[in-house]
């Protein structure tokens, strides 16, 4: 089941940057803002400082795929912007995925383990 769509408009990105909260680790920065919708909207930003278009697109695909595979772990109702830092340039899928999940826990956008395993 798909819970998310892409964040595409510049004004949506700017709104998340201005009024959202942010957390960072070595490879990624995550900006989060509640959006009053039943789904998440995810945007990915990779600066030209990180690399050429091939490198930037590759990193965006890694992030998109790691979000897609872990989508059911994220709470709904958020606009999320993920920014790749220069350190993330030569990282593989597993480091990017663990960085994404780490930021999800820090921003509290990931459902807690107790709620998932609770079968009353």
Can you give the pLDDT at residue 5?
87
88 vs 120, which has greater pLDDT? 88
CATH number of the domain encompassing residue 104: 3.30.230.10
CA distance 115 to 113: 6
Q: What is the mean pLDDT of residues 88-116?
A: 87
Q: What is the mean pLDDT of residues 63-71?
A: 94
- pLDDT tens-digit map of 21-44: 999 999 999 999 999 888 999 999
Residue 97 within a domain: yes
Q: What interhelical angle do 53-69 and 93-106 show, nearest 10?
A: 60
H helices present in the chain, as ranges: 10-19, 53-69, 93-106, 113-117
Residue 95 within a domain: yes
Residue 118 within a domain: no
Q: How many domains does the chain have?
A: 1
Can you give the pLDDT at residue 116?
47
Can you give the pLDDT at residue 106?
93
């Amino acid at each position: 089941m798909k819970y998310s769509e892409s964040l595409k408009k510049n004004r949506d990105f700017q709104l998340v940057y201005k009024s959202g909260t942010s957390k960072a680790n070595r490879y990624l920065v995550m900006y989060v803002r509640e959006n009053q919708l039943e789904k998440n909207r995810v945007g990915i930003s990779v600066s030209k400082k990180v690399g050429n278009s091939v490198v930037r697109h590759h990193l965006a695909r890694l992030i998109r795929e790691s979000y897609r595979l872990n989508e059911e772990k994220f709470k709904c109702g958020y606009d999320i912007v993920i920014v790749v830092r220069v350190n993330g340039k030569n990282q593989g899928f597993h480091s990017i995925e663990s960085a994404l999940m780490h930021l999800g826990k820090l921003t509290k956008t990931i459902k807690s383990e107790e709620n998932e395993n609770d079968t009353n």
